[in-house]
Amino acid sequence: MRRYGHFSQDQREFIITRPDTPAPWVNYISNGRYHGIISHTAGGFSFYQSPRDSRITRWRYNSLPMDRPGRYVVLRDKTSGDYWSPTWQPTETNLEQYECRHGLYYTLISSRYQGIEASILYFVPPDDDLEIWRVRIKNLSAAKKELDIFAYDELALGHALIDLINQPNDQHFNEVFFNRNEEILFASKRYWIINSGASVKQANQAWDRYVFFASSLPVVGWDGCKDLFIGRWRSESNPIAVEKGRCHDSEITSGDAIAALQTACTLKSGEEKEFAFLLGTVPREDYLNAGSAVVKKYRDLAMVEQSYAQLRAEWKDYIHHVQVDTPDDDMNTMLNVWNQYQTSVTFRFSRDASYYHGGLLFGRGFRDSCQDILGPSIPRPEWVKTRILEMTQYQFQNGSAFHLYFPFSGGGELTGHSDTPLWLPLAIMVYLKETADFAFLHEKTKFYDHGEATVLEHLHAAIQFALMNLTDRHLAKFGPGDWNDTLDYLGREGRGESVWVTMFLAYILRESISLCKYIGDEEGAMRYSREYQRIAGAINEYCWDGEWYTRGTNDLGEVIGSKHNEEGKIFLNTQAWAVISGVADEARALSCMNAVLNHLDTPKGPKILHPAFSRIDPGIGLATRCVAGKKENGAVFNHPVSWAILAECILGRGDRAYGIYKKSLPMNPAIDIDRYQVEPYVYAEYVTSPDHPTFGQASHSWLTGSSAWMLRDGIDYILGVRPVYEGLLIDPCIPAEWKRYKVTRKFRGKQYEIYVRNPVGVNKGIRTLKVDDEPLQGNVITSEWIKDITKDNVVVEVELG
């Protein structure tokens, strides 16, 4: 990892020390409305609310040169005509010094070249819908420097997919013009398609936004025409306008749109100057006044600094709701900063906008969003409450739900994935355990089709839908896929069975039993208890294979995930969830998780299945079309890896749980960072397993459900500090060699300082527990226990033994 970078001393920045990383290492800038992805060389794109329907700028993903276009500033020495970019891209100049600092929703790139030290800070202020490029340049040479300064971004303006696939026609509706009085470049599109696509109904509307681009320095030139700024047979690396030192002052009513501004600066020896470029968006109505007001506000560089300080303070507060101090520095780095940060990104971006997800297709995943709330529920439960209320409105009256939905434009995709509806009860119960806001259960929202229901009724509807879709053997129907989207042809005729969905249903039933009992619904608890026993019995009768649990059956009744199969004999999901759901007794739980160790283990954690499929089986689906060792065909898929960690904690095997957790950390590549390729500071979706020659190569970083589960694995189950309806449960499951650790956790208005000692070296089991020096019977610090304590800080002392 240190070949390309390292964490800062406070762990809140990852510092990249050379631009030629194995792949673009990206970060995010966002205020929850205006969003951007930015790479370590300033590549990436921006959008307002929807990366598909309201895209601001372009980014080409899989073309060469890599990682273009982006948010570029190019400096040109007026005397020599030499020009370069402080971010390395797009000019790829051999800089004398380079550094990129990715922080929590900001990126700072700095460099030195020919006596000029320059830095560019990129961030989105919390209160307004724009991104700020704060530039500082200093003359380190003995001579005066006169510089031309060019700022450039390539514009999409509206529907990103239409811009990509129909650009020759779509560009006819672009308009870019420069307002000379305000010195602001404005751009928009007169024709805008959202969601449904042109083939369904001809659109008859303009994009409802205007983009603006401005500078705090006086503007001496501009361009809205890409062809004129770049020049024929050139690229962003050598624009003709930069080479000649003069923009064309072009405006367009049709054509390929860009936003380019030219300013100038003179620096005496040793002099430093600061200025800003402002790229943002305002509503189409009254865009001139709205845009001018925002630009005027941030041309004041004091306001730029104030907004940046506000951003830093906001995210410092966010991560300080949980802080840990363990013997493992990497674990501390992830749990204290980067894992928390990544879960905020997955919450905001779902699986919709990243280097691997182009923001063109998926919208917001229902299943994904229900899990993404696991991170923000601790520091920002109000976000989670709003999101859950949103998701209930994409549920149908019969309890089914859209698999993907589009909050910006409305609608969704009803795919029939058998697990999708069941994630909503999980999200609701996570929120309730964190907040004890049981009044939330009585809030009403509409179903997507017709009628309305309370949140509690939405929860029951999801469970009832799953119960109504069982086979005669009381196992869940597979449908066109479950959590594993690539097992997509096992149950298309309605007879295939998903053992994993059945286990997940059992888990939701067990959790719902606890909820019903807590809120006094004994009838509901009894009803769900009967269903749980029926389903758990079916799993153990039909799905136990001797040493582990099978994965499912196809429409013909043929089993997958069995010792009798030649390939795909064992799947990780059903072993972990047999334990998590409680359907496996102790002997079977130990047996199936031992089988995980014996058959699935790798240096990066357990594989998703073994042996990988070597032949395409149309009756199973896409998993068998993936090459062995990648994606769902035998990769180390971090999402189920996180469930394996959870299962081992439930079994009390702290050394095994921590061992898997340690292997899976992103800063621990199996081979080296060049093979790993992706960012070493956030989780990736999967790591290629030893079943493929590129073992150790990771992919699909940032936007993965594994992030939220890994966070809760670490805090809730390994360190053992987790919320329950009654209060805060203390239940560590740690490696025996650990002697002590500390967790600081804000919970329901109090801050808990939890000190854990392990003098005799056990994995699990509490000998004594004191709260403010008072012995506590049991291991739940209840709200009743705490209510009479007036101070905000509560000290908890735990001794294992």
What are φ and ψ of residue 125, in 5° steps? -65, 150
Handedness of CA 683, 684, 688, 694 (dihedral sign): negative
State how far the Cα of 38 lies from the Cα of 46, in Å rounded to an integer.
Answer: 9
Quick: pLDDT tens for 46-72: 999 999 999 999 998 777 888 899 999
Residue 378's nearest CA partner among 431, 332, 311, 312 is 431
pLDDT of residue 1: 67
Flag whether pLDDT at 157 surpasses 60.
yes
Mapped onto helix, strand or coil, the DSSP state of residue 561 is: coil
Preceding omega of 69 cis (within 30 degrees of 0): yes
Mapped onto helix, strand or coil, the DSSP state of residue 134 is: strand
As a whole number, the mean pLDDT across the chain is 96
**What is the percentage of the chain residues whose pLDDT exceeds 70?**
99
State how far the Cα of 687 lies from the Cα of 700, in Å rounded to an integer.
Answer: 9
State how far the Cα of 36 lies from the Cα of 47, in Å rounded to an integer.
Answer: 6
pLDDT of residue 66: 85
Flag whether pLDDT at 555 surpasses 60.
yes
User: Nearest-5° angle of CA 565, CA 567, CA 569?
Assistant: 60
Quick: pLDDT tens for 420-479: 999 999 999 999 999 999 999 999 999 999 999 999 999 999 999 999 999 999 999 999
Active site residue 223: no
Start-to-end C-alpha separation, the chain: 38
User: Nearest-5° angle of CA 342, CA 343, CA 345?
Assistant: 65
Give the tokens for residue 436. 């004890």
**Average pLDDT estimate for 168-181:** 95
Active-site residue among 485, 555, 601, 772? 485
Assessment of whether the complete model's pTM goes beyond 0.85: yes
**What is the percentage of the chain residues whose pLDDT exceeds 90?**
92
pLDDT of residue 590: 98
Quick: pLDDT tens for 586-628: 999 999 999 999 999 999 999 999 999 999 999 999 999 999 9
Flag whether pLDDT at 201 surpasses 90.
no
Flag whether pLDDT at 556 surpasses 60.
yes
Quick: pLDDT tens for 125-146: 999 999 999 999 999 999 999 9
Give the tokens for residue 308. 């940046």
**Average pLDDT estimate for 76-94:** 97
Indicate the helix (H) or strand (E) that contains 297.
helix 287-299
Band (pLDDT 50/70/90 cuts) for residue 196 is low
**Region class of 207: left (phi > 0), else alpha (psi between -120 and 50), else beta:** beta
Band (pLDDT 50/70/90 cuts) for residue 229 is very high
Quick: pLDDT tens for 326-340: 999 999 999 999 999
Q: Cα 316 to chain center, whole Å?
A: 19
State how far the Cα of 230 lies from the Cα of 228, in Å rounded to an integer.
Answer: 6
Flag whether pLDDT at 197 surpasses 60.
no
- Which long-range contacts (C-beta less than 8 Å, at least 24 apart) are formed by 233-237? 235/65, 235/68, 235/90, 236/68, 236/69, 236/72, 236/89, 236/90, 236/152, 236/154, 237/65, 237/90, 237/91, 237/92
**Region class of 73: left (phi > 0), else alpha (psi between -120 and 50), else beta:** beta
**393 neighbors 447 (Cβ within 8 angstroms):** yes
- E strand spans, 126-208: 130-139, 145-158, 174-179, 184-189
Band (pLDDT 50/70/90 cuts) for residue 485 is very high
Q: Using the 8-state DSSP alphabet, how is residue 441 labeled? A: G
**Average pLDDT estimate for 752-774:** 97
Flag whether pLDDT at 167 surpasses 90.
no
pLDDT of residue 199: 46
State how far the Cα of 498 lies from the Cα of 490, in Å rounded to an integer.
Answer: 9
Quick: pLDDT tens for 512-533: 999 999 999 999 999 999 999 9
Band (pLDDT 50/70/90 cuts) for residue 198 is very low
Distances (CA, A) of 474 to 501, 503, 605, 609: 12, 11, 33, 25
Other C-beta atoms closer than 10 Å to the C-beta of 401 total 28
* Three-class secondary structure assignment of 649-673: HHCCCHHHHHHHHHHHCCCCCCCCH
**Average pLDDT estimate for 107-126:** 98
pLDDT of residue 353: 86
Flag whether pLDDT at 789 surpasses 80.
no
State how far the Cα of 167 lies from the Cα of 255, in Å rounded to an integer.
Answer: 9
Quick: pLDDT tens for 369-410: 999 999 999 999 999 999 999 999 999 999 999 999 999 988
